[in-house]
Amino acid sequence: MTLTLAELSTPLGDVRIARCGESLVGLGFAEGWERVEDSLRRRFGAVLRARAGAAPAVAEALRRYFGGELAALEGLAIDPGGTPFQQALWGALRRVPAGRTTFYGALARTIGAAGAARAAGAACGANPIWLAIPCHRAIGNDGHLTGYAGGLARKRWLLAHEGALPYEDRPSFSSAVAFAQR
């Protein structure tokens, strides 16, 4: 089996992309890629890795997302693997619209696992396709931003970009406008 790997610069830093055929199987920030790669290794075992330019569909979707078309990542073909619980939770996360947040406990209830807020948080932490499965939209049951593999500053930026937090709460990163115009 061959995974196609690519790297792309975004306003939040470099991301790495892994595809199996046309499906996105890994997407993460470069400095946290080892965790995603470990997940891919467990899932696919010994695989051939082919380097390629940025995956055109993923690169275009990311450009559109950072340019303000917040639903652009929804159409990507994804295959995150995972346990049945993780798959159900990740599916529920994909249904949380941009500009909204949800609580880990609410996610767990949504998939019929009331009382499994911590397991929901762990599933978010195991998400191999950051941004396309928008785990940044899950927040603590007390309303505070908690855990994000890309760091809380990125989580805050993403939520502000999507309109879920006041714009002034957005930390500074590279210009999303310049990225979207490339």
List the Cα angle 74/162/115 in 5-degree steps.
75
Amino acid at 59: A
**Inter-CA distances, 66 with 42, 102, 140, 174, 180, Å:** 31, 21, 25, 11, 6
Q: Output the furthest CA–CA distance in the chain (Å, rounded).
A: 46
Catalytic residue among 108, 117, 120, 135: 135
- State the Cα torsion 35-147-164-98 to the nearest 10°: 30
Between CA 169 and CA 163 the distance in angstroms is: 11
List the Cα angle 118/120/126 in 5-degree steps.
105
Asked if 18 and 35 count as a contact pair (C-beta separation under 8 A), the reply is no
Between CA 104 and CA 118 the distance in angstroms is: 7
Is 124 one of the catalytic residues? Answer: no
Half-sphere exposure in the Cβ direction for 76 (13 Å, CA): 35
Question: Which residues are annotated as catalytic?
Answer: 135
